[in-house]
Amino acid sequence: MALKKGDKAPAFNLLSDGGGKIKLSDLKGKKVVLYFYPKDSTPGCTQEGLDFKELHTKFKRAGAVVLGASKDSVKRHDNFKEKQGFPFNLLSDEEGKLCNDYGVWIKKKNYGREYMGIERATFLIDEKGKIANIWHKVRVKGHAEEVLAAVKEI
């Protein structure tokens, strides 16, 4: 069943870059921008991360925590974050539970080939742990600005 606005955000407790762990319950009282991306160090995913990085101070001022999530390992996240200078955490969902819980592990098509992969999607979770907004099939250009505008509205 697909998540929708107003639903309780699925809980998570995942490893993040730097060997830390992040639990959604620890972020209660804060707005959470959880963005899913297919793979570290690919052009679109790098640009999306850089866009969130550029607006990071504004997200913080608006009371939001930004988290990126993919199925890459903590080690890959460490390299990606260090290389790009991201000021936010990257969650490692190697088992795919987070992707399944949020409904972003989907069938994709590329050059006629079908395969399973992560849909580029973003979830805005409010201070009470409810989903305030969802963006599916995200186009990177302008997305971080759109999310920031939504964060300021809740």
Q: What is the pTM of this model?
A: 0.96
pLDDT in tens, 3-58: 999 999 999 999 999 989 999 999 999 999 999 999 999 999 999 999 999 999 99
pLDDT in tens, 42-56: 999 999 999 999 999
In a domain, 5, yes or no: no
Handedness of CA 81, 86, 91, 93 (dihedral sign): negative
CA distance 76 to 44: 16
The active-site residue out of 34, 45, 64, 69 is: 45
Contact yes or no for 118/45 (Cβ under 8 A): no
Contact yes or no for 139/147 (Cβ under 8 A): no
Contact yes or no for 93/99 (Cβ under 8 A): yes
CATH value at residue 78: 3.40.30.10
In a domain, 44, yes or no: yes
Reply yes or no on whether 45 is catalytic.
Answer: yes
Tokens in use for 97? 């539970």
Number of domains in the chain: 1
